[in-house]
Amino acid sequence: MNYPNGRKKSIPLHGSDNQTKSSFSNRGMTLEDDINATNTYYLEMNKAIIHKKPTPVQIVKVNYPRRSAAVITEGYFKQASTTDYNGLYRERYIDFEAKETKNKTLFPLANIHEHQIKHMQSIVNHGGICFLIIRFAVYNETYYFPAEKLFSYWNDKLDGGKKSIPYEKIKLDGYLIPFQYQARVDYLAIIDKFYF
């Protein structure tokens, strides 16, 4: 292709090696993107209504450099957030937190906060379905990890035990969610097996 500056640029042909490597490496993007795409698919297929919870923020200062552009320059979280997602599926309340780690051998419990654990315990006590979705980015593996399993690791940490969950334990106590085209993180398939 010729550009006005006289330089030529070659465009890789469809299916070329570079294009294939690029699209494969970016297929997952981020865990949040994958879950949002999955939830949109669930909604469009009328399968479930699951949404990302907005983070409550108090805007304090706004700068108006020009009429058409406002820039928030100062803001504060109004309150501690609970979990990332909630909604309804087959007349059951769903509530979960999504976490991604680059660690190869463990999931640090520092990624979860005490107020989130209390919230998750309350959901479970009221009959809701509560869990973590954990992605090990290094392996490109995503796991459904039940909140009930998380609580024992959390309590062990509070009693002076390990401050993390070993990768092998997540593989053992959790459920691998295979990557798919439309429902990229099809966590409802896991819920169907164990709740319905």
- For the chain, the domains span 37-54+82-195
Contact call for residues 85 and 53 (beta carbons, < 8 A): yes
**CATH code for residues 37-54+82-195:** 3.40.1350.10
Asked whether residue 103 carries a pLDDT value surpassing 50, the answer given is yes
Q: What pLDDT score does 79 carry?
A: 61
Question: Greatest CA span in the chain, whole angstroms?
Answer: 70
Is 116 labelled a binding residue?
A: yes
The sign of the dihedral angle between the CA atoms of 33, 35, 36, 42 is: positive
Contact status, residue 175 vs residue 143, Cβ threshold 8 Å = yes
On whether 192 is known to bind a ligand per the annotation, the reply is no
Give the end-to-end CA distance of the chain in Å, rounded to a whole number: 57
Residue 56's pLDDT band, with cuts at 50, 70 and 90, is low
Name the more confident of 60 and 182: 182
Among 129, 114, 111, smallest CA distance to 193 is for 129
Are the beta carbons of 161 and 146 closer than 8 angstroms? Answer: no
Tens digit of each residue's pLDDT (9 = 90 or more) over 110-130: 999 999 999 999 999 999 999
Structure tokens given for 38: 């999955």
- What pLDDT shows up at residue 5? 45
Please indicate, yes or no, whether the overall pTM of this predicted structure exceeds 0.95: no
Highest mean pLDDT among 1-5, 25-29, 51-55, 176-180: 176-180
Q: Residue 88's beta-bridge partner residues?
A: 49, 93
- The reply to whether 97 sits in an annotated binding site is yes
Cβ atoms of 98 and 84 within 8 Å: the answer is yes
Q: What is the mean pLDDT of residues 11-24?
A: 39
